């Protein structure tokens, strides 16, 4: 099995943040929002939601549109990403529903038991210690909170990672191709994520492979 290769936790290069803000992730991110709707079908969301690792806020905005009953707090550790996120949110007219905050996990200002929904996309593979994400979710989640985490999953070989980059990022800016490759190598396998959840006492959450390069974790807190 391909060993995990860590990458930097923060994505704060100006060129890097600009490339992500300008990239077209519509199909991939719409699919993630659709998976959320599928696994929580029949549930009407409301109250306070938390987006961990929001980046330029593309997922945040799409979630806000789909779930108008939610107020959202979106966190990211990179100021450059939050600059683009603020522009996006204001441009979408969602400044009254989405509040941005710069923070890294573990975040001492994260209130306990405050959020009815917690989501995260593509943060897990950046963390040196993945348990930081799961323990932060357990801390912040209200009773019976909805939890949804999507992330890359590590392929079986370097060659497979290169093939995925060639297939999905051909023609993209070099910074995106570089980061995609490094992120694939830094990602976890479904089996590793399952072990993380057991270690954190969150084994009630489900782990599902959703594409040739993505997995998701979902469920409700006790």
- DSSP secondary structure letters along 171-219: TS-HHHHHHHHHHHHHPBPHHHHHHHHHHTT-TTSEEEE-SSSEEEEEE
pLDDT at 178: 92
Give me the domains of the chain, ranges plus CATH numbers. Answer: 14-220 (3.40.50.150)
pLDDT at 19: 63
Residue 19: C-alpha distances to residues 53, 153, 217 (Å): 17, 22, 27
CA angle 65, 66, 68 (to 5 degrees): 65
DSSP 3-state assignment of 114?
A: coil
Q: How much is the pTM?
A: 0.94
Partners of 120 in beta bridges: 52, 149
Mean pLDDT for back-to-back runs of 10 residues, the chain (222 residues): 83 65 72 94 93 95 96 96 94 97 96 98 95 98 98 97 94 88 96 97 97 96 95
């Amino acid at each position: 099995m391909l060993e995990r290769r860590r990458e930097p936790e923060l994505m704060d290069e100006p060129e890097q943040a600009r490339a992500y803000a300008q990239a077209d992730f519509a199909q991939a991110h719409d699919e993630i929002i659709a998976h959320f709707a599928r696994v929580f079908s029949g549930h009407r969301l409301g109250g306070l939601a938390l987006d961990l690792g929001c980046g330029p806020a593309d997922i945040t905005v799409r979630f806000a549109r789909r779930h108008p009953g939610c107020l959202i707090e979106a966190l990211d550790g990179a100021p450059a990403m939050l600059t683009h996120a603020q522009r996006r949110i204001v441009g979408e007219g969602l400044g009254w529903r989405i509040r941005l905050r710069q923070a890294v996990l573990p975040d001492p200002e994260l209130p306990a038991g405050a959020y009815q929904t917690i989501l995260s996309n593509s943060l897990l593979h950046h963390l040196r210690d993945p348990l930081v994400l799961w323990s932060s979710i357990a801390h912040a989640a209200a009773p019976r909170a909805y939890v949804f985490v999507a992330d890359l999953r590590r392929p079986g070989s370097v060659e497979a990672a290169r093939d995925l980059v060639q297939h999905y990022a051909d023609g993209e800016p070099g910074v995106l191709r570089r980061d995609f490759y490094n992120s694939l190598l830094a990602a976890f396998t479904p089996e590793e994520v399952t072990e993380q959840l057991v270690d954190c006492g969150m084994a009630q959450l489900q782990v599902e492979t959703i594409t040739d390069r993505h997995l998701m974790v979902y469920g409700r807190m006790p």
